[in-house]
Each structure stands twice: as structure tokens, then as C-alpha cells.
């Protein structure tokens, strides 16, 4: 295989840029923030690892690690999407970011529900204590 054949095969193996050009303006702000997305991923992994050092932290420590991995994968996919003009990598990045939003949403709902239960518990405790006096 000569060098001219090799360059032709590389060009034909790259995805069509038409699809990528359509989504490129949408991804541009995310691509600009890919460093921050990577940093967020690394920090989440570190926080999760620290949480896992305690007995109780093991129960919830896997969540930040999972979120961190998703952020790191999203950052790498964004980089691949722009360098190779690959719409599949762009979709993968958006899928990973969407998954992190869903996880954070579920965690916030659970946190709010636990907070409401805590407030109800405190109110009941105060009412029972006041009734005993």
C-alpha cells in the first residue's frame, strides 16, 4: 500500500462533517468548558475515594466516584468530538452529562424528602415533649 492509498483510506474512514457541523454550535459552550468538566470529574472521584475511607462513607462514596467517571468520560468525548468531528462522540458526551443531571436530580429529591422527614420528626419531638411537661 503506498502513501497516497493510506491518506485516502483515512479520509474515507472519518465521519461526515455535515452532521457534526449541525451540532457544533450547540456543543461549543460545552467544549469550551471541557477542562472544568474534567476537573469536576477528578474532584468527584477524589471526594468519593475519601468518603469510602470511613465505614459509613462506603455506603454513599460510590456515587461521587460514578459521577466523576461520567464527567471524565464526557470531557474526553467532547475532545474527541471536536478533534475528529465525530457526532457519535458528541452524543456520548451529552449522554454522560445527561446521566449526571439525572443522578443529581434523584439525589436532591431524596435529600429534600429526608429533610422534610427530619423537620416533621423535630416538630413531633417538640410536641411530645411539650405534652409531657
The reported pTM is 0.75
State how many domains the chain has.
1
Domain that holds residue 29: 20-103
| Lookup: cell for 107 | 439525589
In a domain, 43, yes or no: yes
In a domain, 132, yes or no: no
Of 83, 74, 92, 66, the C-alpha closest to 30 is 74
In a domain, 112, yes or no: no
pLDDT tens digits for range 18-66: 667 777 788 889 999 999 999 999 999 999 999 999 988 888 999 999 9
In a domain, 86, yes or no: yes
Position 11 confidence tier, pLDDT thresholds 50, 70, 90: very low
User: Residue 58 has what pLDDT?
Assistant: 87
Amino acid at each position: 500500500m503506498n502513501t497516497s492509498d493510506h491518506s485516502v483510506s483515512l479520509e474515507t474512514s472519518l465521519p461526515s462533517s455535515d452532521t457534526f457541523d449541525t451540532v457544533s454550535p450547540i456543543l461549543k459552550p460545552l467544549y469550551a468548558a471541557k477542562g472544568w468538566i474534567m476537573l469536576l470529574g477528578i474532584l468527584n472521584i477524589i471526594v468519593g475515594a475519601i468518603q469510602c475511607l470511613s465505614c459509613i462513607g462506603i455506603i454513599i462514596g460510590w456515587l461521587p466516584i460514578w459521577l466523576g467517571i461520567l464527567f471524565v468520560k464526557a470531557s474526553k468525548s467532547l475532545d474527541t468530538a471536536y478533534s475528529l468531528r465525530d457526532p457519535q462522540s458528541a452524543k456520548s458526551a451529552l449522554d454522560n452529562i445527561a446521566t449526571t443531571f439525572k443522578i443529581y436530580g434523584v439525589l436532591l429529591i431524596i435529600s429534600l424528602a429526608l429533610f422534610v422527614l427530619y423537620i416533621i420528626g423535630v416538630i413531633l419531638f417538640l410536641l411530645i415533649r411539650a405534652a409531657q411537661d
